[in-house]
Amino acid sequence: MQKYKLWIDGKWVAGKGGKMSIENPATGKPIAEVVDAAREDVDKAVQAAHNAFYDGRWSRLTPGARSLALWKLADLVEKHAEALAKAESENTGKPYKFVSLGADMPFVIDNLRFFAAAARDTHGSAAGEYAAGFTSMYRREPVGVVGQIAPWNYPIMMAVWKFGPALAAGCTVILKPAPGTPITTLMLGELIKEAGIPDGVVNIVTGGNETGQALVEHPLVRMVSLTGSTGTGKKIMKTAADTLKRVHLELGGKAPFIVFEDADPEIVAATAKLASTFNTGQDCTAATRVYVHKSKEKIVRDAIVETMKSVKVGDPFADDIEMGPLISATQRERVVGFVDRAKQAGAKILTGGKTVKGAGYYFEPTVISSAKQADEIIQSEVFGPVLTVSTFKDDDEAIALGNDVPYGLAASVWTKDIGRAMKVARELEFGTVWINDHIPLASETPHGGFKQSGFGKDLSAEAVGDYKITKHVMVKNT
Ligand code: NAD
């Protein structure tokens, strides 16, 4: 069984904390052991990032030099993609074919190449005489040392979405992966060094929530970037207030999937299946709430139930598998609890709703009807392969129901009427609105929330901008 240390200042460090066992959710068996970093380990990592920032070994490099190192890292990740994909699949239970060829590894490599390019962006610099006799200039400088805290649902992708834009901006980072899924993030440590990114620029500290808390409290950390649940985002924002850190929060979601009467039921059902079972529904943008015009309720609902019944669930390394297990026993209990409480509140389970017998944390793709808008199953993030189907009578009601949750991360609208699609997209309070699709993203497109889904963007040039701070330099002309 592989044993990992902490990655601090460009080397493996034993750490003072205890040990954590890492398991494979498809079998429930341990696969690795990592350090549960103590407060002093976090301090050591922050000091390394602080020194690396202030001696300018990264922050004062030209954007071109930073870009080249990020590009080399992308090449190295590509070279080691198969080993990374296997480790990711084993640590998360994601179908291997999706990690290796589908969403994860090819996207991660493209994300790194995008951030390498974005490091060289000159957009937005300006200089001018705004007060008589003075020239004003604006410097976009890196924020400094950034604490970055990741979730378990896309471990390597979330790591890259965190350090990619921060490094492009010239920051140095301490990255804490989620407690259960640190393997691929740790595997990046040596590749980062090999790419020529100086020691101390990226430090990887494994551990649980207390390790994260120590990072957020640390006075030398200037900014905290979290991808995680809305509850964790609120706690972090409160803690960060004590030292007035900047916060960048990518939080939970509860995406509506709004189907008008002119949409094709077969296409709608096929996408609803993919968007609710991809990554076993453990996706912050997953389709979770289908709202269908009441004239098409039966045909759309029946088509969705049929496609959900067809999802191939099982061993992540089998070729024809579409959905693996949930991430842990705890997460499966959570999903079971949501479904049981929905039933008690009067909802009907049209398919699924049960755990799959045997090893691993499998749960059936599930469709629920007759839930009321105020019910927990409509209002709260489940993070499992569970869809509700409800109806609406007109456009205004579709918009009102879609918006009626605390979250605002992603939504989709299904109609052939472009005017209606644009109107509904304008009214929906979500950071991403898809028209006639649900799930795709590109490295260039900003991803982030409205409302209690947080603020700040991942991906895109906006993400790089979030790790910069503007300095005004004023020169007296005479
Ligand atoms: P989580 O909030 O339980 O944990 C996220 C990270 O925060 C972990 O590394 C955890 O150790 C750390 N943490 C927890 N408490 C902390 C504290 N007090 N101080 C500092 N760090 C702390 O989330 P999770 O269960 O790992 O991930 C699932 C959640 O992430 C879902 O809500 C999902 O919607 C969200 N998510 C959002 C996005 C997005 O882009 N908006 C993307 C992926 C996942």
Per-residue pLDDT, averaged over 425-432, amounts to 98
Residue 458 CA: nearest ligand 1 atom is 40
Task: Say if ligand 1 is within 6 A of residue 178 CB.
Answer: yes
> Given this model, what pLDDT does residue 347 score?
98
Instruction: Indicate if the pLDDT at residue 122 is higher than 90.
Output: no
Query: What one-letter code names the amino acid at 88?
Result: E
In this structure, what token pair is assigned to residue 366?
């599930």
Query: Ligand 1 centre and the CA of 347: distance in Å?
Result: 29
**What pLDDT, in 10s, does the model give residues 312-366?**
999 999 999 999 999 999 999 999 999 999 999 999 999 999 999 999 999 999 9
Mean pLDDT of 24-52: 98
Query: For position 103, what pLDDT does the model report?
Result: 83
> How much is the average pLDDT of 241-261?
98
Mean pLDDT (the chain, rounded): 97
Residue 187 in this model has a pLDDT that exceeds 90: yes
Question: What confidence category does residue 478 fall into, taking pLDDT thresholds of 50, 70 and 90?
Answer: confident
Pocket lining: 228 vs ligand 1, CB cutoff 6 Å: yes
List phi, psi (to 5°) of 198. Answer: -60, 155
Rounded CA-CA distance 173/434 in Å is 33
Q: What is the pLDDT of residue 123?
A: 78
Asked if the model's pLDDT at residue 124 lies above 90, the reply is: no
Give the atom of ligand 1 at the shortest distance from the alpha carbon of 154: 43
Q: Which of 229, 254, 407, 455 has the most ligand 1 atoms within 8 A of CB, as the residue to mutate?
A: 229
Which pair of tokens denotes residue 246? 């900047």
Give me the mean pLDDT over the 460-475 stretch.
97
pLDDT tens, residue by residue, 377-416: 999 999 999 999 999 999 999 999 999 999 999 999 999 9
Question: What's the angle, vertex CA 148, arms to CA 31 and CA 82, rounded to 5?
Answer: 40
How many residues comprise the chain?
A: 478
pLDDT band at residue 229 under the 50/70/90 scheme: very high
Q: pLDDT value at position 138?
A: 92
The Å distance, Cα 341 to ligand 1 centre, comes to: 24
Q: Are 349 and 368 in contact (CB under 8 A)?
A: yes
Atom of ligand 1 nearest to the CA of 249: 41
Q: Give Cβ neighbours of residue 396 (< 8 Å, ≥ 6 apart).
A: none
- Which residues are catalytically annotated? 250, 284
> Is 212 near ligand 1, meaning CB less than 6 Å away?
yes
Q: What is the biggest distance separating any 2 CA atoms in the chain, rounded to whole angstroms? A: 81
User: Which one, of 180, 181, 179, 222, lies nearest residue 53 by Cα?
Assistant: 222
Expressed in angstroms and rounded, the spacing between residue 368 Cα and the centre of ligand 1 is: 26
In degrees to the nearest 10, what's the CA dihedral of 459, 465, 466, 467? 100
CB 413, CB 430: distance < 8 Å: no
Closest C-alpha residue for ligand 1 atom 14? 209
Q: Is 245 in the pocket of ligand 1 (CB under 6 A)?
A: no
**Per residue in 276-300, pLDDT tens?**
999 999 999 999 999 999 999 999 9
Cβ burial, residue 334 (10 Å; 0-12/13-18/19+) = middle
CA–CA distance from 156 to each of 149, 185, 211, 253, 360 (Å)?
12, 6, 19, 20, 22
Ligand 1 nearest atom to the CA of residue 151, by list position: 26
- Tell me what pLDDT residue 101 has: 86
| Conformational region of residue 335, where left means phi above 0, alpha means psi within -120 to 50, and beta covers everything else | alpha
Decide whether any atom of ligand 1 lies within 6 Å of the 383 Cβ: yes
Q: Which residue has the tokens 């390790």?
A: 211
Tokens of 402: 């879609």
Task: Give the residue ranges of DSSP H helices in 345-386.
Answer: 376-379
Is the CB of 175 within 6 Å of ligand 1? no
Residue 194 has pLDDT above 80, yes or no: yes
Cross-strand partners of 136? 128, 474
Rounded-to-integer distance, Cα 323 and Cα 362, Å: 9
Q: Is 269 helix (H, G, I), strand (E, B) or coil?
A: helix
User: What is the token pair recorded at 310?
Assistant: 């067809």
* Mean pLDDT for the stretch of residues 220-238: 98
Measured in Å, residue 151 CA sits from the centre of ligand 1 at: 5
Tokens matching residue 400: 């009102």
Q: Which of 448, 447, 446, 397 is nearest to 424 (CA)?
A: 397
Q: Using one digit for the tens of pLDDT, what is the confidence trace for 50-76? A: 999 999 999 999 999 999 999 999 999
Give the phi and the psi of residue 434 in degrees, each rounded to 5: -95, 145
102 three-class SS: coil
Rounded to whole angstroms, the Cα distance separating 362 from 472 reads 55
Q: Is 335 in the pocket of ligand 1 (CB under 6 A)?
A: no
| Calpha distance 219→206 (Å, rounded) | 20
Instruction: Tell me what pLDDT residue 322 has.
Output: 97
pLDDT above 80 (res 125): no
